[in-house]
Amino acid sequence: MELIKHRVAHYWSHRAEAFEAQRLREYDSCKRERWLAEFRRYLPQGRPLRILDIGTGTGFFACLLAADGHETVGIDLTPEMIRHAEHMAAVLGVHADFRIMDAENPAFAAESFDVLVTRNLTWTLPHIERAYREWYRILAPGGVLLNFDADYSAALDDEEEHELPEDHAHKLVPDYMKEENAAITMEVGAYHEPRPQWDVQLLLAAGFERITVDTGVYRRIYAEVDEFFNPTPIFAIAAYK
């Protein structure tokens, strides 16, 4: 594994326990219905879908979509995150399958999933173009990739513009971990071009069609500055096979 991926996994292994606790609170908040509303903009209705949550973390999307009647699998590079994802699913009483796996090299057969979802992952990938090619391979014809992310390296200097509440994750992370996160963000960001414009080009090159970008998702999900607030505006990319 590349050194940068080791650093990413090591960083998030230290965040996993607190991250699960926050995701459980998010699941019990108004954010749950807001995320479901976003998914319903794109997901085929009326039948259960095979869904892969890439970079699942502690399993928020996988659990959310499993509870909505779908067959979900969540993958993450960090073993500690997968352990907490399994715990989160047990706490919520939902069934989801979780596996330790590199998002850039998913070990699934071609056309395994109807839907791929990912949240705040692709900014950590040094080879997004490889990931998009692999995601196209494992997506069934007519399927959709939903990528919720932001251009974190470009926005790194602007995050302090928001006055965050005292219970916000950014306030609770020790300074040395904040510094490591910033270092990782800038190192990986050096491989990236401006987003989401660059993502659209890479997705087209990977074979995806009907690609849309929605910057309004940020205002719909993060309408309040609360403990879940993301100080960097996220975008939503929907790409169809």
Over the stretch 59-75, which tens digit does the pLDDT of each residue have?
999 999 999 999 999 99
pTM summary value: 0.94
Helices (H), 68-141: 79-92, 128-138
Over the stretch 138-187, which tens digit does the pLDDT of each residue have?
999 999 999 999 999 887 655 455 677 777 767 667 887 878 888 888 88
Fold classification of 3-240 is Rossmann fold (3.40.50)
Hey, is 3 helix, strand or coil?
A: helix
Which amino acid appears at position 228 of this protein? F
**Domain residue extents for the chain:** 3-240
Over the stretch 98-143, which tens digit does the pLDDT of each residue have?
999 999 999 999 999 999 999 999 999 999 999 999 999 999 999 9
- CA dist 121 and 206 (Å) reads 18
